[in-house]
Structures are given as structure tokens and as C-alpha cells.
Amino acid sequence: MSIRKNGFWRGLVLGTACAAFATLGLAEAALAKDTVRVRIAEYSTNTGDFFIEMADRFNASQEDIEVVIEHLPWPEMQQQLITDISAGTAPDISHMATRWMAGFAKDGALAPIEGLMSEEFTDSFVPTFLDLQKLDGHTWGLPIAASARGLFYNKALFERAGVEGPPATWGDALAAAKKVSALGDDIYGIGMQGTGLDTEGYWFYSLWTHGGDIFNADGKSGFASPEAVAATQTYIDLIEAGVTQPGVLGSNREDLQNLFSAGKLGMVLSGPWLNTQLADEAPDLAYGISQIPTETAAATYGVTDTISILAGSEVKESAMKFLEYMFNDENRLAFGKLEGFVPVLKSMSKEPFFTDNPKMSVFLEMSPVAKFAPLVPHWEEMAEALKSSLAAAYGGDSAPADALKGAADKMNSLLNE
């Protein structure tokens, strides 16, 4: 009896010990996983959930990687990343505007990723968009989103106002806007952005189609060139004619898009993501999309956003593994349908969703004349100076040439740092 009893207790102790070691082993295995923190900016109310669900699928296929998604509104992204880098609490992967990338790379905050990318993966991208992620011989990120910009116009308002088709020139746009504005006190001919994200981008439409550029031939700022002054005057003419929405200096991109969605705006300059908003909020709105009105040249604003691995990450290879998953065909097609951006992968450029849909294909057709913001350090400071100058000109506080000279001087000073 005692032998059996002692054997029972010995077995119980050994079994308990084995179970404890097994549990410890599982815990150690769990702790051994690479946790990859990924911060995503919100393009829409669906963006966060989309990437969380993607991460869940990825995590289910992995034994040694756990991806955790964080998502923030766009206006908070840059400052939060700066704060976290300074505090040593930055994520492993972060979404950012490509125009921020040069500054972060120069400060040593980003990891070059060309050594982490296979040749096949590298070759899967549309070269134009991947090349925008390169600086000083390194690739600092991947193009998570890309867009061109076009002129959205309300077909019903145009018909009521007797406007035949979209305007080809800025003079045509002013004439059309006057007719649409005459339809009623709560109807406005054309939207004009005066504040917030991409205010400078709204001005680039006019700058580039007037034949101007961000840099002059001598490499100095083109913000105060004769073409830039003329481009600014074109916008002032729209404001002074009373054909824009009231309160231009307080209107951001979302305000204009909401007015267009509500059927109160004849024209607005925007990107393909507006298609998604209109499908959700105004499915019965009849609208068309055309090229940006011209003065002396055809042009559109091309934009990419970037997703980068941070220099401080200790799990760079695992981070790249998730990026490769993020950029597979299935995920990229779903993302394109959700957010309405143009393809950054060669394979997606042939998808019927993009090629057979006239409200998407028009942006692909404009890509040959797309121009981009420069990848230079201090670009955000330059853009802020330009926004202040434009506000002074739009508000009538300063002549366009005088206001733009201030922005050009600030840009040239920053270029010399």
C-alpha cells in the first residue's frame, strides 16, 4: 500500500513538474515572438479596421511574429511620430506622407530597406512610385498609397446652369463657376481650399498648369516666379468674383468634399478617394471627372504616401515580412477598392476595377503629366511658409508678388541649412 501510495505521489509530483515546465515552455515560446508595432494613418473610418483584420489574418499564419496595429487621424501622425522617436517609443513600422520621409531619413529615424527586399518583391512595384521612396542611394519606404488629382464636377448643376461639359482652361472654369453660382445663394461654383492639410497642394494645381514649378532653373525657390504670381491671381479672381464657397481661409479639404457631396458645389479639385466618399454619402449624385483646367500646360498633382521601418526597430526582418504580406495582390486590391487609390503594383494596374471604371481610369490616364512635391529636408516648414503667404494673398492683406516673396525667401533659407 505504501509503495503504491508513494508511487502515486511521485507520479503526481513528476506530472505536475512536467506540466509546469510545459506551461513555462509555452510562455517562453510566446515571449519569443517578435512583436511588430505598426502605425497606420486613417484615410477613412474603415482604414483602422481594415488593417486590424489584415494583421489578424497574418498573425494566424505565423508562429513567431505578432503584429499589433495602431491607427491615428492624419493630422496627428507627424507630430506623434516625432514625439515617439524622441522618447524612444516609436513603432516598428509607420505610415507617413512621402514628403515627410526625407526629413526623417536625414535625421536617422528610418531604416534603409533595400537589403531586406527580395528582387522579385522590388520588381513588383510601379517604378515611378517606388522611385519616390528613394533618396541618397537608399530606399526608405514603400508606396502604400498613390493618387493623381482631377476636377470633379456636378453634372446636374452644370445642366441647370447651361454649362456644357467640364472646363478646359481656368478662364472656362471662372465662366462656368459664375453660371453655377447664379443658381442660388447656397450653391457655389467652385471650391477653394484655404487651410489644413494639402493647402499648398491645392495651389500647385494652378502653379503647374500656369507653367510654374516649385524650383526655378537655378535650383532656388519658384514660389515667387511670374508664373506663381499669375497662378495665385487666378485663384484670387475666383474669390473676388464670388464664385467660391464663403470663408475660403477657413475651408479645408474635407469641407470642400462635404459641400460637393451635399450637391452644393459645382466643381472641386480632389483625388480618387472622393469616389469612395460619394458612393457612401451621395450614391445618386451625377458627377464627372476631368483633367485640371490648364493655362499654358497640362499637369496634375501626383502624391504618394509611404510606409517605413523605423531605425530603432529590433525586429526589422519580421517587419518586412508583414510588409510583404500587406503588399500581396489580394490585400492591395481590397485596399484599392476600400480607399480608392490608384495602383502601386504592376499587377494591380491591369485589374478591371481600375481599368474598366471610368471614375478610376481617368486618374491613370492623367499620370503622365503628374508632378510631385520635392523630397527635401524641411519641406513641411517650406509648405507652412507658403500657406501663410497664400492666406495673406487670398485674404487681400498682401499683393500676391509680395506675399509669395516671403515664402520664397523662407524656402531658400531652409535649402541652405
Query: What span, in angstroms and rounded, lies between the C-alpha atoms of 269 and 372?
Result: 16
**E-assigned strand segments in 214-311:** 265-270, 287-290, 300-301, 303-309
| Full pLDDT tens readout for the chain, 417 residues | 333 333 433 333 334 444 444 444 444 444 579 999 999 999 988 999 999 999 999 999 999 999 999 999 998 999 999 999 999 999 999 999 998 998 999 999 999 999 999 999 999 999 999 999 999 999 999 999 999 999 999 999 999 999 999 999 999 999 999 999 999 999 999 999 999 988 999 999 999 999 999 999 999 999 999 999 999 999 999 999 999 999 999 999 999 999 999 999 999 999 998 998 999 999 999 999 999 999 999 999 998 999 999 999 999 999 999 999 999 999 999 999 999 898 999 999 889 999 998 999 999 888 889 999 988 889 989 999 999 999 999 999 999 999 999 999 999 999 998
Q: Write down the pLDDT at residue 110.
A: 98
Q: Write down the pLDDT at residue 23.
A: 46
Q: In this structure, which long-range contacts are made by residues 215-220, counting pairs with CB atoms below 8 Å and at least 24 apart in sequence?
A: 215/374, 219/415, 220/408, 220/412, 220/415
Angle made by CA atoms 308, 44, 40, in degrees to the nearest 5: 20
Q: Write down the pLDDT at residue 101.
A: 92
Q: Write down the pLDDT at residue 281.
A: 94
Phi, then psi, of 368 in degrees rounded to 5: -65, -20
| pTM of the shown model | 0.82
Query: What span, in angstroms and rounded, lies between the C-alpha atoms of 307 and 94?
Result: 6
User: Measured over all CA atoms, what is the biggest interatomic distance in the chain, rounded to whole angstroms?
Assistant: 107
Query: What span, in angstroms and rounded, lies between the C-alpha atoms of 235 and 209?
Result: 12
Residue 221 cell numbers, joined: 525657390
Residue 343 cell numbers, joined: 495602383
Query: Residue 297 in 3-state DSSP?
Result: coil
Cα 98 to chain centroid distance, Å, stands at: 8
Please list the alpha-helical segments (H only) found in 182-272: 199-209, 226-240, 253-261
Residue type, 301: Y
Domains and CATH numbers, the chain: 33-146+306-368 (3.40.190.10), 150-301+378-415 (3.40.190.10)
Query: What span, in angstroms and rounded, lies between the C-alpha atoms of 376 and 221?
Result: 12
**Alpha-carbon torsion (340, 386, 231, 374), positive or negative:** negative
Residue 103's contacts (CB-CB under 8 Å, 6 or more residues apart) are: 377, 378, 379, 380
Q: Write down the pLDDT at residue 31.
A: 59
Residue that the C-alpha cell 527586399 belongs to: 117
Q: Write down the pLDDT at residue 417.
A: 85
List Cα–Cα distances, 187 to 180, 196, 244, 246, 288, in angstroms. Answer: 7, 23, 9, 11, 18
Q: In what order do the strands lie in the sheet with 34-42?
A: 65-73, 34-42, 93-97, 303-309, 142-147
User: CB 56: neighbour CB atoms within 10 A?
Assistant: 11
Phi and psi based region of residue 335 (left: phi greater than 0; alpha: psi -120 to 50; beta: remaining): alpha
